[in-house]
Amino acid sequence: MITAENIRYRTIDIDHLQIAPGITSVIGPNGSGKTTLLKLLAGIAVPDAGTILVDGIQPRNAEIGWVNEFPDRNILFGSVFEEIASPLRFRHLPCSEIEQRVELSMKSMGITYLAARPVQELSGGEKVLVALAAALISRPQVLVLDEYDSHLDANRAAEIVRIIRKSGIPTVIHCTQDCEAAASTDSTIFLETGKILHSGKPEDVFALLAGTAYYPLLW
């Protein structure tokens, strides 16, 4: 469970937020503070005021996976294999275990063919898949995804959601511009000018957004 109380940071002004286990989508206009909120929840940024806790501890002390909206900002190492292996190497796990887990991770993501490729030669979508594999491999408590799906087609994005659900990660927070994707998550947060206007089950949130650009076209 993630809880946020009296958060003040840049445009973010949130009195109370509670995110239960499952997949939560964050939607709202450009400039509404979605990425800033995700950075706070991931521990990348620290609020000027207020408290954020992940299962009772501060985000920076929790195991949190992060995927940036911009693929190149996710990359630290030269090859695909080393990029995916990096979280395990930082933990000083045995090489044999690292190799086995990286191979399994690449197989589940359907990117085994990229193993020896230099990361900088990949397409934007391929870089996102590598970043997701690296974020998933450490089996974090929380996975925070900032519009990763903007680089993938609808079928690939849907397949990634299935992989994430099978991964067993308790809490996933996904910022997206795809309201159809948001409608299939467990809960939805609608953010505007740094404030949470609506939060709850997708059917309840989108009922309040009927007639706007945020209502799913397929509904």
Q: pLDDT per residue over 60-72, tens digit each?
A: 999 999 998 887 7
- Tell me the C-alpha to C-alpha distance, in Å, between residue 184 and each of 113, 161, 162, 206: 30, 10, 11, 11
Interval 151-160 mean pLDDT: 84
CATH for 19-46+54-63+141-210 (3.40.50.10420, 3.40.50.300, 3.50.50.60, 3.40.50.740):
3.40.50.300
Q: State residue 201 phi and psi, 5-degree precision.
A: -65, 145
Dist. CA 15–CA 118, nearest whole Å: 45
Do the Cβ atoms of 47 and 204 come closer than 8 Å? no
Report the relative pairing of strands 64-67 and 142-146 from DSSP bridges.
parallel
What pLDDT score was predicted for residue 173?
A: 97
What average pLDDT does the structure give for the chain? 92
What pLDDT score was predicted for residue 128?
A: 87
Dist. CA 34–CA 36, nearest whole Å: 5
Domain locations along the chain? 19-46+54-63+141-210, 70-138
50 or 217: which carries more pLDDT confidence?
A: 50
pLDDT band of residue 24 (cuts 50, 70, 90) is very high
What pLDDT score was predicted for residue 54?
A: 96
Is pLDDT above 80 for 218? no
pLDDT band of residue 17 (cuts 50, 70, 90) is very high
pTM score, whole prediction: 0.89
pLDDT band of residue 197 (cuts 50, 70, 90) is very high
Closest CA to 102 of 75, 125, 127, 130: 130
- The model's pLDDT over 131-152, given as tens digits with 9 standing for 90+, comes to 999 999 988 999 999 998 888 8
C-alpha 161: how far from chain center: 11
Residue 156, H or E segment: helix 154-167
- The model's pLDDT over 87-136, given as tens digits with 9 standing for 90+, comes to 999 889 999 999 999 999 999 888 999 888 888 888 888 888 899 999 99
